[in-house]
Amino acid sequence: MHRFITALAHDLREIIKPVIFLFCSFQLVALTNWLLLESYSITPTHTVFAAVGALFGGKAILVANKLPYLHMFQGRPVLISVIWRSTVYAIFSVLFLCSERVVTGLFRDEGPLSSIETLTRHLSLPHVAANAIWLFVSLMLYNSYVEVDRHLGAGTLRKIFLETIPPRKAH
């Protein structure tokens, strides 16, 4: 039981950063969708969808991090690693979100094929493309942060951005 709790605590520590980052990113996506669709009523469901999406995205990142091919560009220029990881994370996130919609359909007593058909019928390509661009750019920012923090030393960027720096003395 102790090993399970230790593993769970480790996974929670690993998933918290991407979930918070993706939650903020998905809030931007929801705001963009709201503005583009000219809907004038903001409902709490936008925040709930962003939170659920962030949890699925965080889980996708956690699963992708366990795959050996994700780290195949270690030792190469950081830009290549950032682009590669962002692409893999984006693919995993989209797969997780699509599978979530299919599973939701199964819980509504739809069959697997009917759930997939419902998913594809309600997709708007421009809407999906806009969300995919947001997701990829957000993941590029996240992976850039992770790589820079790794090169500077774990926690250095957090200290730079979140800790109070004493004012400089005038010369």
pLDDT value for 41: 59
87: in domain: yes
Instruction: Please check whether residue 164 lies inside any domain of the structure.
Output: no
Q: How far apart are CA 122 and CA 104, in angstroms?
A: 14
User: How many folded domains does the chain comprise?
Assistant: 1
Looking at residue 38, what is its pLDDT?
A: 62
Parent domain of 126: 16-155
Q: Is 170 within a domain?
A: no
The pLDDT value recorded for residue 1 is 81
pLDDT in tens, 30-49: 777 777 666 555 566 667 77
pLDDT of the residue at 44: 60
Q: Is 116 exposed, middle or buried (0-12, 13-18, 19+ CB in 10 A)?
A: middle
**Does residue 131 carry a pLDDT above 60?**
yes
In this structure, is residue 142 part of a structural domain?
yes
Residue 53 lies in a domain: yes
Asked if residue 8 is part of any domain, the answer here is: no
Q: What is the dihedral of CA 87, 92, 93, 95, to 10 degrees?
A: 130
Tens digits of residue pLDDT in 21-30:
888 888 887 7
pLDDT of residue 115: 76
Q: What is the pLDDT of residue 83?
A: 92
Q: What is the pLDDT of residues 44-98, one digit of tens each?
A: 666 777 787 788 778 878 888 888 888 888 888 989 989 998 898 888 777 776 7
How do the residues of the chain divide into helix, strand and coil, expressed in percent and rounded to 5? 80, 0, 20
User: Is 105 or 148 the better-scoring residue by pLDDT?
Assistant: 148
Q: Report helix, strand or coil for 133.
A: helix
Q: Which amino acid is at 64?
A: A
Distance, CA of 150 to CA of 144 (rounded, Å): 10
Question: Mean pLDDT in the chain?
Answer: 80
Query: What phi, psi does 108 have (nearest 5°)?
Result: -90, 20
The pLDDT assigned to 91 comes to 83
Mean pLDDT, range 114-135, rounded to an integer = 77
* Residue 66: half-sphere exposure toward Cβ, Cα within 13 Å: 9
Residue 9, in any domain of the structure: no
Separation of alpha carbons 158 and 142, rounded Å: 13
Domain-located, residue 100: yes
Residue 145 reports pLDDT greater than 70:
yes
